[in-house]
Amino acid sequence: MFIHNINPAILSIFGLEIRYYGMVYVIGFLLVLFILLKQNDKLRLTKDEIYDYIFYSIIFVILGARLFEILFYQPSYYFSNPLQMIMIWKGGLSFHGGLAGIVIWTYFFARKKKIHFYDLTDILVIPAALILFVGRIANFINGELVGRITNVSWAVKFPNYEEYRHPSQIYEALKNLLIFFVLFFLRNKNLKKGTLTWLFVLMYGILRFLIEFSKEPTSYVLGIPTGQIFSFLMIIAGGYFLLRK
C-alpha cells in the first residue's frame, strides 16, 4: 500500500504554481503540432493553417471539457458558485467534453479546408492516446479522480480522502498506453479511412466503461455513473462505424 504525498506543483514562482497537469496540456498540443507538421504531405495544409488548427483546438478542448463538467458532473455546485466555472486551474475538465469539443472543431475545420475528416483524425488519435496516458499520470500526482475504497495490496491513501483506494488514474493511464500501442502498430497497415479513429473510440469506451467500476463516481444519471454512460455511447458509436467499414 502507498501513502500519496506527491507535490502536484513542479515549481512555484512568486506564488504562481506550475503544475504537472498543466504541463501535460502544453506538451500535448506541442506534440500534436509537431506530428501534423511532419505528416502534412497527407493533408497539404499551410503552416499557418496548422497553427490555426492547434490554437482553436486548445479553445474547443478546454471549453468542451469544462462545459461537460459543469452540466453533467457537478451542475449543482457550479450553478451555486458561478465564479468557479471560469477557474479551470482548480481542475474539473471532462474527457468526454474535451473529445466532443475537438470533434466539432475538427469537423468544421476539415470542411472549410476541403480535406477528409478521417485524414486528420486518423493522425490525431495516436498522439492523443499517448497524451491521455501522461494526463492520467498527472491526475494521480494531483490526487484527484480517485478510485473506490479497497484493501488490495497496491491501494493508495490519497490526501483528503478516507481510507485506501484504487489508483484508478493508473488503471486509466495503462488503458491509454494500451490503446496507443495498438494504434501505433496498425498505423501503416492498409486500413480504410476512419478505422483508426473508430478503433480509438471503441477501445476507449470499452476500457473506460470497465474501469468505472473501480472509480469513485462524482455524479449519476438514473443510478448509473455519468462517465459510464458516456463510455457506453462511445462503444455504440465505435462499434457501429467499425462494422460499417
Q: Which pTM was predicted?
A: 0.91
Number of Cβ atoms within 10 Å of the Cβ of 8: 18
Question: Does pLDDT of 227 surpass 80?
Answer: yes
Query: Given the C-alpha cell 454512460, which residue does it identify?
Result: 229
Q: Which residues contact 140 (CB under 8 A, 6 or more apart)?
A: 4, 6, 167, 169, 170, 173
| pLDDT value for 174 | 98
Question: Rounded distance, CA 99 to CA 65, Å?
Answer: 8
Question: Does pLDDT of 2 surpass 80?
Answer: yes
Question: Rounded distance, CA 134 to CA 130, Å?
Answer: 7
Least confident of 37-46, 85-94, 218-227: 85-94
Q: How confident is the model at residue 90 (pLDDT cuts 50, 70, 90)?
A: low
Mean pLDDT over 144-155 rounds to: 95
Mean pLDDT over 123-127 rounds to: 96
CB–CB of 182/198 below 8 Å? no
CB–CB of 66/25 below 8 Å? no
Question: Rounded distance, CA 120 to CA 39, Å?
Answer: 10
Adjacent-strand bridge partners of 147: 215
Question: Does pLDDT of 193 surpass 90?
Answer: yes
Question: Rounded distance, CA 123 to CA 128, Å?
Answer: 9
Positive or negative: CA dihedral 72, 78, 83, 89: negative
Q: Provide Rg for the chain, Cα atoms.
A: 19
**What DSSP character marks residue 143?**
T
Question: Does pLDDT of 32 surpass 80?
Answer: yes
Mean pLDDT over 7-23 rounds to: 82
Number of Cβ atoms within 10 Å of the Cβ of 158: 25
Question: Does pLDDT of 84 surpass 90?
Answer: no
Size of the chain, expressed as the number of residues it contains: 245
Across all residues in the chain, what is the average pLDDT?
93
CB–CB of 174/189 below 8 Å? no
Cβ neighbourhood burial of 127 (10 Å; 0-12, 13-18, 19+) = buried
Decide which of 221 and 110 is more confident. 110
